[in-house]
């Protein structure tokens, strides 16, 4: 993790990169979860049925809601 050290150099970062890295990791995990849920919903009928949160949209509602929540 980059630590702030303004005294050492005028170009040193004012913030650590922890929260930024966490946001990037969260976006990556969300995208991966979307892929896993979509594939599981396509291959397994039980998963597909459990992903129907809103009937007109079908399993897509569960796939996307699940990915966003994760």
Partner 1 sequence: MEITARALWTLIHGLGFGALYLLACSGMLVELYRFAITSSSSESTPGQERFLKIYLLTMVVLAWAAVLTGAYVVYPWYRAAPPPGTTDLSMFPQRLLMSSPTTIAWHSLGMEWKEHVAWLAPISITMVAFVFIKYGRDLKNHRQLRAAVLSFAVASFVAAGIAGFCGAMIKLTSTRRFRGVTRFN
Binding residue for partner 1 (CB under 8 A) from 51, 62, 66, 67?
A: 67
Please give the size of the binding site for partner 1, defined by CB under 8 A.
Answer: 29
Q: How far apart are CA 42 and CA 23, in angstroms?
A: 29
DSSP letters for 12-42: S-SS-SHHHHHHHHHHHHHHHHHHHHHHHHH
35 binds partner 1 (CB under 8 A): yes
Kind plus residue range of the DSSP H or E element containing 66: helix 59-69
Binding residue for partner 1 (CB under 8 A) from 58, 62, 66, 69?
A: 58
In the complex, which residues of this chain contact partner 1 (CB under 8 A)? 2, 11-15, 17, 19-21, 23-24, 26-27, 30-31, 34-35, 38, 54, 56-58, 60-61, 63-64, 67-68
């Amino acid at each position: 993790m980059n630590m702030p050290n303004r005294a050492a150099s005028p170009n040193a970062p004012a913030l650590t990169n922890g929260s930024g890295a966490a946001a990037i990791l969260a976006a990556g995990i969300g995208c991966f979860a979307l892929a896993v849920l979509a594939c599981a919903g396509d291959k397994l009928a039980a998963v597909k049925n459990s992903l129907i949160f809103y009937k007109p949209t079908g399993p897509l509602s569960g796939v996307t809601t699940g990915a966003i929540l994760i």
